[in-house]
Structure 1
Amino acid sequence: MSKIKFGLIGSGWRAEFYIRIAKALPEKFELTGVVIRNREKGEEFAEKFGVKVVQSLDELMRSQPDYVVLSVKRGFVSGYLIDLFKRGIPVLCETPPGETIEELEELWKQSRKYDAKLQIAEQYFVQPLYAAWLKVIQDGKLGEVSNINISSLHGYHGVSIIRKLLNAESGNCTIYGKRFSFEVTETYGREGIVQDGETFFCTRDRLTLEFDNGKVAFFDFSDPAQYHSFIRTRQLTVQGVRGEIDDLTIRYLSSDNVPVTQELNRIDLGNYSNQEWSHYGIMLGEEFVYKNPFKNARLNDDEIAVATCMERMGEYLATGMEFYSLKEALQDTYLALMMDAALKHPNLEVRTSTRIWAQ
């Protein structure tokens, strides 16, 4: 594939990922420009990151990007998307695509009306560890998967992994649960380690999603501590008829029904005495269940995942092969909204229904 040219709308923390990736992989990606409407802010941004900044979408499109990355505040996403649909501009959109069920349905209608070229940058299922877990399931080591306990991702991100690992597609479910609040000591934030011993109250959401096909998800997330804490861990368990994933431990039966226990082993270059620094892959026994597609690139796991979305967006435009469609994103966001509704009515069942994108 030839080098992918992309434009960027947005200047926040998430938008910076795309700039870092383009600089780390110049042979694969070229950033043609960043749209920032405020001229003064744009000049500061251009100087800080060494990128071209323009004030309008029309200016950006003169640089002829293959697609545009939309990375703006949540409340502005759906309006931007519809404008891009009308202009016929291919879009890789940061999540979520909308904030209400009405917005989600309108996005679907408008995407059909304008035959939008759109994929969503939902990156977690292509992060190294999640991709390795998914490969273990797809290889059939667990047999038919029946339930998942996930305590690592919030909202629609968590729903995305639930649907992927359970192969739940657009099935309806019953949701119930409750929100709790507990005190925890701050240890880490986006700026680094925190050692002042200050405490804060952190919510913990516990929800059960019972799908109509009999599969069940147990959702558990502490916000915001679980993403940025040295004393709150990530946990995942997936059970199938012939085995289970227990975080980094995989238990399954061989073809002769002999119980096997193996650990996922992460391979990174640059540890200890060698001079590189990059993630190489994840092994289970003698086989790789994940290999970093960007060999020797100095990217963290989330950047690897975002770069994978960027590359697959290029493949989608060339071949039509979707990797994370609007339909998937709408379903994940819809279920996340219904989870929020369930939390507002503790322990009462909330029922989902088939929406227009799943009909």
Structure 2
Amino acid sequence: MDAAPLRLGVVGTGFRTGLFLDLAARVPHLVEVTGVLGRSHASAEAAVAGRGVRAADDLTGLLGTSPELVLVAVPVAAAPAVVTELVAHGARVLTETPPAPDLDGLRALWAAVGATGRVQVAEQYLLFPHTAARLQVARDGLLGDVTSVQVSSTQTYHATSVLRGFLGVGAQTARVVATATTTPLADPVARPGWTGDPAPRPQTTTVATVDFGDGRTGLYDFTQTQTRNPLRTRRLVVRGSLGELVEDRVVRLADATTVLTSSLERRQTGHQQDVQGLDLDQISFEGRVVFRNPFVGSRLSDEEVALATLLVQARDWARGAGPEPYALAAAAQDHLLGLAITEAARTGQPVTTTREAWADAVA
């Protein structure tokens, strides 16, 4: 936390840009936004209004602010061209998810910039505090060999990043079987807030199984508005050879005759007469800390903690002081799996993924 703030340039003026600009204002010791470039100068001016951030006139002007890293947060159809142009100018890039709209786009983007090693992707789902804590429990071997993971919380490429992360699988081919069912569901909360409309409307739920081989499988279960809809819970199940994790509850075999049931415990300050302020402090398991909030005092939500963690990792990578946070190859593989889920649900037929040019670069 003592390092100089990351100098971050931004291309794009939409919702995701706003999240990063808000985060930069909350943690100025972590990130300094050098400039924002939009489709027009007016859109950039509107995005930075009241933030004390410069609106750039063009790409040359943005790069002239000397960013260490450029965030690309534009519509997915436009992102590959922007990323390719930035890399051609020698920039290091953090592009939003997914990095390209379809498989042909992924292949073209990889052919253009994959070998440069200059592109990372802004995937943060494994960095959410409780997810990171659960992953630590799994990696500590308390569940034995992880063989099955179920994710019901977020869409395609985000969910597949979680599946691969817990299963520890790379870029091997996978067989996907999926179904899609449309049923009525109320949708009381949208991105701007409460809709005021309690009437159910048709929404599609997609359920898919992903067979990675070697006895490792993933289950994907997602309803269209689930990321914000309070009428649908979020669920993560991790099954291993010695136990099972369901959300924050763990059942495991401690020795030949001992089964333990334990829970991840969140320490949250600011409740009732706690005067420390509202903050996540830590998450512990069986008396030891498995996640500690690196940004205590900044009053960040869990998603903001994940994004801030991503920016710290991207900063260190950009300065040659740390590993890749989420490489283009990993993002391409996760989107490949997400596209296979979508295709299998659309056709009702199994889909087997192909081994792509980025496979050898996937950790």
* Band the TM-score falls in, shorter-chain normalisation: over 0.9
TM-score by length of 1: 0.95
Letter in 1 for 2:217: V
CA 1:98–1:305: 2 relative to 1, 3 Å: same
Structure 1 unaligned spans of 5+:
none
- Which whole-Å CA distance do the structure 1 matches of 2:187 and 2:213 have between them? 40
- Which whole-Å CA distance do the structure 2 matches of 1:350 and 1:83 have between them? 34
Report how many residues are paired.
356
Alignment of 1:129-140 (within 5 A): 129-140=130-141
Given that residues 10 and 35 in structure 1 are in contact (C-alpha distance below 8 angstroms), is that contact kept between their aligned partners in structure 2?
A: yes
- Which whole-Å CA distance do the structure 1 matches of 2:315 and 2:193 have between them? 34
1:92 to 91, 94, 113: 94
Letter in 1 for 2:60: D
CA 1:243–1:50: 2 relative to 1, 3 Å: same
Given that residues 132 and 289 in structure 1 are in contact (C-alpha distance below 8 angstroms), is that contact kept between their aligned partners in structure 2?
A: yes
Question: Per-residue displacement from partner, 1:53-86 (whole Å, max 9, x unpaired)?
Answer: 1121111111111111111111111111111111
For 2:199, the equivalent position in structure 1 comes to: 198
Given that residues 251 and 261 in structure 1 are in contact (C-alpha distance below 8 angstroms), is that contact kept between their aligned partners in structure 2?
A: yes
TM-score by length of 2: 0.94
3-state SS in 1 of match to 2:229: coil
3-state SS in 1 of match to 2:358: helix
3-state SS in 1 of match to 2:142: coil
CA 1:259–1:88: 2 relative to 1, 3 Å: same
Given that residues 85 and 116 in structure 1 are in contact (C-alpha distance below 8 angstroms), is that contact kept between their aligned partners in structure 2?
A: no
Say whether residues 1:160 and 2:175 are aligned partners. Answer: no
Structure 1 ranges of 4+ moved more than 3 A: 193-196
For 1:217, the equivalent position in structure 2 comes to: 218
Letter in 1 for 2:148: N
3-state SS in 1 of match to 2:347: coil
3-state SS in 2 of match to 1:356: coil
Say whether residues 1:13 and 2:32 are aligned partners. Answer: no
3-state SS in 1 of match to 2:19: helix
Give the Å deviation of 1:131.
Answer: 0.5
Instruction: Give the root-mean-square deviation of aligned CA atoms.
Output: 1.5
CA 1:35–1:286: 2 relative to 1, 3 Å: same
- Which whole-Å CA distance do the structure 1 matches of 2:265 and 2:39 have between them? 46
Say whether residues 1:23 and 2:25 are aligned partners. Answer: yes
Give the Å deviation of 1:47.
Answer: 2.1
For 2:239, the equivalent position in structure 1 comes to: 239
For 1:314, the equivalent position in structure 2 comes to: 315
**Stretch deviating more after TM superposition (192-201 or 337-346):** 192-201
- Which whole-Å CA distance do the structure 2 matches of 1:147 and 1:331 have between them? 19
3-state SS in 2 of match to 1:298: coil
Letter in 2 for 1:234: R
For 1:286, the equivalent position in structure 2 comes to: 287
For 1:78, the equivalent position in structure 2 comes to: 80
